[in-house]
């Protein structure tokens, strides 16, 4: 348990109305279903445009059905990656969120599996 001190504006500073701390559980905030949740550390910078940086931990929920537009952990022909899933009538693309990295168009006879949907990125600030 961690103490929750309330909301704080990120814009113009407001006078404090007093400090009130309550107990919160980060598990309750970050994890929908503990039995289907995993945490992985990201390596590489292909997803920086989505706010996911090398060294970040991502929370993956295997209980969420992957849909077009979700960020997923995918395995394509034995190689794992984190990308945005794009599903179109012409096929599947694993989209990088960094223009320096190419998108991956999934060839028709390739073996693609989705490990889970990324629900959060934990980014260290210091």
Q: How far is it, in rounded angstroms, from Cα 84 to Cα 57?
A: 17
Catalytic residue among 83, 95, 99, 124: 83
Which segments within the chain are labelled E, that is strand? 2-4, 22-24, 37-41, 57-61, 71-76, 79-88, 91-95, 104-105, 112-122
Joined tokens for residue 63 = 């209980």
> 3-state DSSP call for residue 49?
helix
Joined tokens for residue 70 = 């979700």
The answer to whether 67 is a known catalytic residue is no
Q: What is the DSSP letter of 30?
A: H
The answer to whether 83 is a known catalytic residue is yes
Catalytic residue among 25, 36, 46, 124: 46
- What CA dihedral angle connects 66, 45, 101 and 95, to 10 degrees? 10
Catalytic positions, please?
46, 83
């Amino acid at each position: 348990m961690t103490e929750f001190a309330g909301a704080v504006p990120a814009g113009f500073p407001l006078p404090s109305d007093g400090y009130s701390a309550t107990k919160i559980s980060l598990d309750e905030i970050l994890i929908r279903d503990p039995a289907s949740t995993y945490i992985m550390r990201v390596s590489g910078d292909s997803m920086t445009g989505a706010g996911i940086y090398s060294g970040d931990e991502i929370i993956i929920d295997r209980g969420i059905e992957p849909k077009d537009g979700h960020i997923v952990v995918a395995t394509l022909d034995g190689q794992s990656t984190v990308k945005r899933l794009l599903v179109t009538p012409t096929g599947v693309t694993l989209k990088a969120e960094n223009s320096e990295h190419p998108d991956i168009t999934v060839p028709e006879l390739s073996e693609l599996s989705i490990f889970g949907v990324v629900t959060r990125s934990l980014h260290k600030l210091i």
